[in-house]
Structure 1
Amino acid sequence: MDDRSKRGSTVTRQIRFNAFDMNCVAHQSSGLWRHPQDQSRRYNELTYWTELAKLLERGRFDGIFIADVLGTYDVYGGSNEAPIKHGAQVPVADPLLVVPAMAYVTEHLGFGVTAGTAYEHPYPFARRMTTLDHLTNGRVGWNVVTGYLPSAARNMGHDDQMEHDERYAHADEYLEVLYKLWEGSWEDDAVVVDRESGVFTDPSKVHDINHEGKYFTVPGIHISEPSPQRTPVIFQAGASPRGIDFAANNAEAIFVASPTKEILKATVGRIRDALEAAGRDRYSARIYTLLTVITDATPEKARAKHAEYLSYASEEGALVFMSGWMGIDLSQYDLNEPVGNVKSNAIQSAVSNFQQANAEGGEWTVGDIARHSAIGGLGPTIVGSGEEIADQLQEWVDYTDVDGFNLAYAVTPGTFEDIVEHVIPVLQARGVYPTEYAEGTLRNKLHGRGDRLPAEHKGASFKV
């Protein structure tokens, strides 16, 4: 499972890439939709997604990870005005519906789609994901999110979202229902398609799941036949203590966001320890960290490009995002005010990371957060030639034990085109980046252990 290889005297594993996008404009880099080369305004055109998918497959990306929200970032200023004005992930469209078109024009690219556990019953959701897994021939993963925007809760008829840890308790049961449906309802040979007898499916091999829990009652069968993976690859993006516990029991790919290498190393270590404590191999989940790469043929061109991008970035738009992610209305603070000790009911790891960065490297102010996140959101941005970027990526992997990078864009598809042109050939020449895809489903491409959940995974215990 451990695919480390030698590079000089340094040990490094093969570096893996995901593309980070969202069915909206300027996903992580608020204001960059104004750049003349940015095409994120085409998010509602199918050709945007099919062209991007073909580009990413040419670059041997593991997949495209599509984020989502079901509300607006109205924490900043206590209203919708700023996110609507800046196009801060609103308007936003459904992430799942673009996947079949991308699958049709590719053969290997994986698709990680985000869907929350808070506002949709698991019974219809199970069918939707099974459908996607069939249509992609087993290339789908599900990014499990519990939700963090109060506006989504209000529009679904609640006063506010559940408390942070209760959201995970609710998600635990949500996953249990899904595992029962995906793994425990249909036997592998239930579908017989016997034309002579007239039996399509053997009823004795399809089982009710009889689930009765605190949050859900699901007595019946899964109404879809098993897909290539049965359970889609489970992605997870929470790095709080409760989120890590949830990931250790469920996740096969984990996304984190850390502003510094030092914080990332500690986060990766906690996750690997938690995987082991849950009875799994330390490397049973691929860990990707959020990063934005700005590159060009020479260091000078790359730095000029970065400066140009910064001229389009919106610091207020960045604070709109950060207010939603941190659960704090940053409009009420002066830009020179240090980040204090706060309690967040949103993404707790976002608050913790900036507080830790504050403690380790001097005072982080609200203005620092705005400038840091104006391009790339919660993750850092690195700038340089292809050789310089490759050096930094290898350094990050060697130091932090991370598997790869969830690459956000400054402009799309230009940021991804630059990576494919300038960075990937360098990494491939050094022997630390794939030149070909593995065969099979997304699960097998990521882990090389077959198409179904491994025996030690929690979900496998529900297999009929």
Structure 2
Amino acid sequence: MSKKMIINAFDMNSSMHNSHGFWKHPESKRHRRYKDLDYWVELAKLLEKGKFDAVFFADVLGIYDVYRQSKEPSIRDGLSVPLNDPAMLVSAMASVTENLSFAVTVSTTYEPPFGNARRFSTLDHLTKGRVAWNVVTSYLPNAARNFGLENMIKHDERYDIADEYLDVSYKLWEQSWDEGAVVEDAENETLVDPEKVHEINHEGHYFSVEGPHLSEPSVQRTPVIYQAGTSERGREFASKHAECIFVGGPTPQRIRYYSDDIKERAEKHGRNPENLKIICFLTVIVAETTEEAEKKFEEYNNVWSPDAAKAQYGASGYDVAEFEAQDPDEIFQYKKKTEGGHYKAATLTKDAPKQQQTVGEVLKRFEGLDRPNIIVGNPQEVADQIQYQFEESGIDGFNLNHLVSPGDLESFIDLVIPILQDRGLYKTEYEQGTMREKLFPHGSSTLPEDHPASKYRRSLNKSYS
């Protein structure tokens, strides 16, 4: 039986998401309706109809303000602003679905682990085990200032913080409460057995947390762990902690390189690489005929905002305005190091389709939709390209971007999903169980024994068995 691909809807609780300037498109509904809970309920039903695995909610904690050293380009074109909390949507979307899962992005750099652990336990309870945490370390200078810091914490130190943050979280989720702590013993007037609830007494470099965890164990205890990042430190972090890793690259071969590297690192951490899923980015423009799809592409290109694209690139820490001041025939290269998102910077260098580019060629990439990285065509052509990427890269699935919402998702579900199902590449029915049980063959809703969190579970069993 062929491997079935994972497909998540890549989204944001925002007016726009990776669709720069598309609020001007006449069929765009999200910038008007993202504040309307009915929009998200309808979206959840649509995605479950299409047998999507999950909604992957991106999030940021500030405004992109590196380009021109200004917030105006982002605000003007709705680049991830206005933006609401994605976690608030999950309960409502879960209430109208049975199988759709939810990956929620939360940063380890600014929000303390104790409250975040309760948030995810709560969501895991309410969804009956359909929740994942996308662990990020945050890369926006404005986000740092929003949380009282004058400057961003350096890139690698953000991962040091994240490592300890995960340790605290594992202790709260895996160690603090024994199984069977809730006894409901009316005769002895005991709802919860105090002997089975434990402080974690974490004293580390960045965090001090006494505990115990306020929430009783949820179905998965620890939510499924997602992580995105292809920097050296990001891949090392992912190989230790993550179960699903979101990677990018210009070719299936480059993506395979990242996938193989992360799995090799995971083995060095004592993990079974089969317990990791690699997900990459996918953008599709599909119509009944090739001609209609090409026409749609041109319509989309006409509403594209170069300024919003340049502003988003500021996540790398580099200001595109500085490139604009250079000779367009000069060979492009970075002239300084930043503490921004290394994966974003790599899209113009080591992860660029062409390894050596001029400044003019780089700037041109911001002027319209990135055609080499978008699949455009009729349903058969789109399915062919998706299958090629899936098989050549060796990945496990995709985070599907949608430029005009919800129309592009509707087109994908109606036109492409049936072909992928006919080819045996995509499920026709959901598997039963929690999000982790659907994703992995080890058959448990909790983390496997090879995951670093299990050491806290084993310690607990030895201490309190």
Shorter chain as normaliser: what TM range? over 0.9
Residue of structure 1 equivalent to 2:463: none
Pick one of 304, 311, 314 that aligns with 2:305: 314
Does structure 2 retain, via aligned residues, the 8 Å contact 1:73–1:320? yes
- Greater shift, 36-45 or 343-352, is seen at 343-352
* Preserved contact between residue 292 and residue 375 of structure 1 (Cα < 8 Å): no
Matched, 1:345 2:335: no
Using the TM superposition, give the Cα deviation of residue 40 of structure 1 relative to its aligned residue in structure 2, in angstroms: 1.3
Gaps of 5+ in 1: 6-12
Q: Which moved more, 1:345-354 or 1:397-406?
A: 345-354
Distance 1:380 1:359, change over 3 A: closer
Q: 1:456 aligns with which of 450, 460, 463?
A: 450
TM (norm. structure 1) is 0.94
- The partner residue of 2:385 within 379, 382, 392 is 392
- Native 8 Å contact 1:294 1:305 kept in 2: yes
Which residue in the other structure is 2:418 paired with? Answer: 425
* Stretch deviating more after TM superposition (297-306 or 242-251): 297-306
Q: Which amino acid aligns with 1:366?
A: V
Over the matched positions of the two proteins, sequence identity in percent amounts to: 46
Q: For residues 37 and 367 of structure 1, what CA distance do their matches in structure 2 show?
A: 29
Contact 2:348/2:362, CA 8 A, preserved across alignment: no
Q: Is the CA contact (8 Å cut-off) linking 2:323 and 2:363 kept in structure 1?
A: no
Contact 2:79 2:308 in 1 (8 A): yes
Matched, 1:355 2:345: no
Q: In the alignment, which residue of structure 2 is the partner of 1:25?
A: 15
From the superposition, tell whether residues 362 and 375 of structure 1 become closer, same or farther in structure 2 (CA, over 3 Å).
Answer: closer
Secondary structure at the aligned position of 2:55 is classed as: strand
Deviation at 1:196, TM superposition (A): 2.7
Q: Is residue 40 of structure 1 aligned with residue 33 of structure 2?
A: no
Give the aligned partner of residue 58 of structure 1. Answer: 49
- Map 1:200-279 to 2 at 5 A: 200-279=191-270
Could you say what secondary structure the match of 1:29 adopts?
coil
Which SS does the other structure have where 1:230 is aligned? coil
1:127 to 118, 131, 141: 118
Using the alignment, how far apart are the partners of 1:118 and 1:68 within structure 2?
A: 13
Q: Distance in 2 between matches of 1:359 and 1:393?
A: 18
Residues 51 and 429 of structure 2 are in contact (CA less than 8 Å); yes or no, is this contact kept in structure 1? Answer: yes
- Structure 2 distance, partners of 1:74, 1:97, is 26
Assess if the C-alpha contact under 8 Å between 1:339 and 1:358 holds in 2: no
Equivalent residues in 2 for 1:62-461, closer than 5 Å:
62-324=53-315, 326-334=316-324, 336=328, 338-342=331-335, 343-358=337-352, 360=354, 362-363=356-357, 365-371=361-367, 374=369, 380-448=373-441, 449-461=443-455
Range with bigger deviation, 347-356 or 88-97? 347-356
Structure 1 residue 14 and structure 2 residue 12: aligned?
A: no
Segments of 5+ residues of structure 2 without an aligned counterpart are 461-465
Change (3 A) 1:333 1:353: closer
Q: Which runs of 4+ in 1 moved over 6 A?
A: none
Aligned partners of 1:290 and 1:380 also within 8 Å = no
Distance in structure 2 (CA, Å) of the matches to 1:248 and 1:332: 35
1:259–1:354 contact (8 Å) kept in structure 2: no
Superposed displacement of residue 358, structure 1: 4.8
Cα displacement string for residues 242-288 of structure 1 (whole angstroms, at most 9, x for unaligned residues): 01111111101111122333322222221222222222122311111
Asked if the contact 2:332/2:356 (under 8 Å) is kept, the reply is no
Q: Is the 8 A contact 1:294 1:302 kept in 2?
A: yes
Question: Which letter maps to 2:424?
Answer: G
The separation in 2 between residues aligned to 1:225 and 1:85, in whole angstroms, is 44
Is the 2:331–2:356 contact (alpha carbons within 8 Å) kept by the matching residues of 1? no
Q: How far apart are residue 323 of structure 1 and its match?
A: 1.7
CA–CA separation in structure 1 for the residues paired with 2:27 and 2:331:
35
* Range moving further from structure 2, 249-258 or 425-434: 249-258
State the superposition RMSD in angstroms. 1.7
What's the CA shift for 1:375? 6.3
1:15 deviates by: 1.5
Instruction: Tell me how far 1:341 sits from its aligned partner.
Output: 3.0
CA distance in 2, matches of 1:354, 1:269: 22
Kept after mapping to 1: 8 A contact 2:250/2:353: no
